[in-house]
């Protein structure tokens, strides 16, 4: 790359941080046993929000989509800039988190789109994004606390939302899913948790069947423990 060209310098400024973070995140995933083998070659595209609306069939603009794995090929994702660089009011999320979401999801070969309608599906992305940096979840956990205290939560870690649900409540529900995945991984191990997630979200198996298969316990008991963990974590 010829650094004397202003346009090329600007592209390098945008690309270099993502390349650095992608390499770092692959090491984090390997350390925490999310990556069990070397990650296959992958491509991360950088897009503006306008570009993201049209690429790969278009990214739904109804939620805060900052990092999305796409179905073009297995190992492809889009980082939406400048959105992905933005930190929340409490310093949460940011580019490192969003790159982590993509690397983790590509490593586990799970398709991902933040515009989903249940906590467990949305929460798996947060699990990867906040891995090894729980402080980055500050804004998400705040939204969980507000959501739980509002009385609008149905009291299940597999709760879902409707198209009319507010962005703040969607963020709270996503955070519930994140805490549930974190708790399941701590109790039963990441592999069993990911298998459970796949049984439910990809294969469409009933929660209780998947829970009995992967955890050896009924979903009612597993969910109750996750719910208690949510309340304890956010003090609500």
More confident residue, 151 or 114: 151
Taking only the tens place, the pLDDT of each residue in 95-112 is 888 888 887 777 666 554
Kindly report the pTM of this predicted structure.
Answer: 0.81
> Strands of 67-69's sheet, edge to edge?
43-47, 76-80, 67-69
φ, ψ of residue 2 in degrees (nearest 5) = -85, 110
pLDDT at 33: 56
Give the mean pLDDT of the chain. Answer: 81
How big is the CA angle at 54 (ends 3 and 127), to the nearest 5 degrees? 80
Determine the average pLDDT of the residues in 188-200. 92
For residue 45, list its beta bridge partners: 78
Query: Is the model's pLDDT at 189 over the cut of 80?
Result: yes
- Greatest Cα-to-Cα distance within the chain, rounded to the nearest angstrom: 63
Provide the percentage of residues in the chain whose pLDDT is more than 90: 42
Query: In the chain, what are the domain boundaries?
Result: 1-112, 116-236
């Amino acid at each position: 790359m010829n650094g004397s060209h202003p346009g090329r310098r600007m592209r390098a400024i945008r690309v270099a941080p993502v390349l650095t973070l992608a390499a770092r995140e692959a090491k984090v995933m390997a350390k925490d046993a999310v990556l069990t083998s070397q990650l296959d070659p992958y491509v991360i595209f950088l897009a503006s929000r306008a570009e993201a609306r049209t690429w790969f069939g278009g990214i739904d603009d109804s939620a805060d989509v900052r990092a999305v794995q796409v179905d073009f090929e297995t190992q492809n994702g889009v980082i939406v800039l400048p959105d992905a660089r933005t930190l929340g009011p409490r310093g949460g999320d940011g580019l490192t988190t969003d790159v982590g979401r993509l690397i983790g999801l590509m490593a586990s070969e799970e398709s991902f789109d933040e515009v989903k309608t249940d906590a467990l599906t949305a929460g798996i992305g947060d699990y990867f994004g906040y891995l090894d940096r729980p402080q980055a979840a500050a804004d998400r956990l705040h939204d969980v606390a507000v959501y739980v205290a509002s009385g609008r939560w149905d009291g299940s870690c597999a709760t879902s939302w409707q198209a009319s649900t507010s962005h703040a409540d969607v963020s709270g529900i996503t955070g519930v899913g994140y805490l549930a995945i974190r708790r399941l991984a701590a109790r039963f191990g990441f592999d069993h948790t990911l298998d459970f997630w796949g049984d439910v979200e990809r294969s469409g198996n009933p929660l209780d069947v998947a829970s009995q298969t992967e955890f050896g316990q009924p979903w009612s008991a597993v969910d109750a423990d996750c719910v208690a963990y949510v309340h304890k974590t956010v003090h609500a």
